[in-house]
Amino acid sequence: MSDGRIPVAVLGATGNVGQRFVQLLECHPWFRVAELVASERSAGKTYREATDWRLSATMPESAAGLMVQGYDADLQSPVVFSGLPGEVAGEIEQRLAARGHAVLSNTSTHRMEPDVPLLIPEVNADHARAIETQRKNRGWSGYIVTNPNCSTIHLVLALKPLHDAYGLEGVLATTLQAVSGAGYPGVPSLDMIDNVVPYIGGEEEKIEVEAQKLLGGYDPAQGFQPAAVVFSAHCNRVPVRDGHTECVSVKLANPATPEEIIETFESFRGRPQELGLPSAPPQPVIVRREPNRPQPVFDRDDAKGMASIVGRVRPCPLLGSKFVVLGHNTVRGAAGASVLNAELFKVDGLLPV
């Protein structure tokens, strides 16, 4: 039944990120969940039967009765949100883009490709211009646009205003990442309780290269030009359910005091805020002044999980300045980021509707 909203499909709908899409889109003013897609294990069942719902609020009734489809289904929705595992996303997302769908993906598979935008609307909305090149290169009527890794997005939301104001030269980031970032069932409980795991396969490399692409430029003739900022990341898995914390030291070309940096974070706004997009946090970077914040339990849901929460801004004897940033990994770190991209594209006339 049509209610004037744009029908959307969710790939990987039964997973951690897929469930978050279903939850965030439940009362969305512009989009309506029309099709849900998961593996053969789930296809042919209702969403309620197929899904082990693990979010804190009840499964939306509007989704519960929808029949889950398999990946070979002939999807009708012009907009497709993807929460597929990397191993299977490549071929499926490409097939849908070739058939004319706008594919907004959380998966790492296409993020670093030379004609695929990796987008944070507050940071590099102009990179969406690469869609035209992608369509031309690949002969597609649709396209693939990606959002970053769940640690990268919160790190870069905090770094962008500093880069614009003072010029970033180097960044050292140590993450304390929630268990939900590994999907479900993810890391075995016996590996997580009373423990910290100082290794997340591929994560450090993703943060380093994605951040350079996001903070860099785009020009149709030259393609993406990575920012000349040196990144070094340490990634750790910690026994937290949701919310990635990152301890960050930065070397600025033009050093700034903690007060100046706080003012720069708080005054930062991007296109989502200017346009008043439905999922845009009023302030993308929120500063906590208490000495012991941000903390995942208290701060991850601030601004409905769509903002990055910064605290402990102070001098760093090694690189100049340091701070802590925290963000929700499945809201702004995944599904919410794709939804915000789709909202921007609707306003910019980039959705195939």
The site for ligand NAP (CB under 6 A) is made up of 12-18, 38-39, 41-42, 71, 83-86, 88, 106-108, 150, 180-181, 183-184, 329-330, 333-334
Active-site residue identified among 101, 163, 244, 328: 244
Query: Of the two residues 160 and 237, which places its CB atom closer to ligand NAP in the complex?
Result: 237
Query: Alpha-carbon distance 131 to 101, whole Å?
Result: 13
Nearer to ligand NAP, 88 or 319 (CB): 88
CB of 43 to ligand NAP, least distance (A): 7
- The helix (H) or strand (E) run that includes residue 79 is strand 79-82
- Active-site residue flag, 235: no
CB atoms < 10 A from the CB of 297, how many?
A: 11
Helices (H), the chain: 16-25, 47-50, 61-64, 86-98, 121-124, 130-138, 150-166, 189-192, 203-215, 258-267, 271-275, 296-299, 336-347
Q: Is the peptide bond before 294 cis (omega within 30 degrees of 0)?
A: yes
Catalytic residue chosen out of the listed positions 101, 150, 154, 163: 150
Q: How far apart are CA 94 and CA 123, in angstroms?
A: 25
Q: How far is the CB of 319 from ligand NAP (least distance, A)?
A: 27
Q: Rounded CA gap, 216 and 279, in Å?
A: 25
**Residue of minimal Cβ distance to ligand NAP:** 15
C-beta of 88 vs 227, nearer to ligand NAP: 88
Task: For residue 297, give the nearest of 178, 148, 173, 156 by alpha carbon.
Answer: 178
Contact 329, 337 (CB under 8 A): no
Residue 116: name the closest of 136, 152, 142, 143 by CA. 143
Closest CA to 308 of 276, 289, 290, 331: 331
Q: Which is nearer to ligand NAP, 25 or 256 (CB)?
A: 25
Task: State yes or no: is 127 an active-site residue.
Answer: no
Helix, strand, coil fractions of the chain, as percent rounded to 5: 35, 25, 40
Task: Please identify, using beta-carbon distances, which residue of 51 and 133 lies nearer to ligand NAP.
Answer: 51
Q: How far is the CB of 124 from ligand NAP (least distance, A)?
A: 18
> Least separation, in Å, of the C-beta of 30 and ligand NAP?
22
Q: Which is nearer to ligand NAP, 41 or 136 (CB)?
A: 41
Going by C-alpha positions, the residue among 139, 55, 44, 60 that lies closest to residue 334 is 55
Q: Which positions are annotated as active-site residues?
A: 150, 244
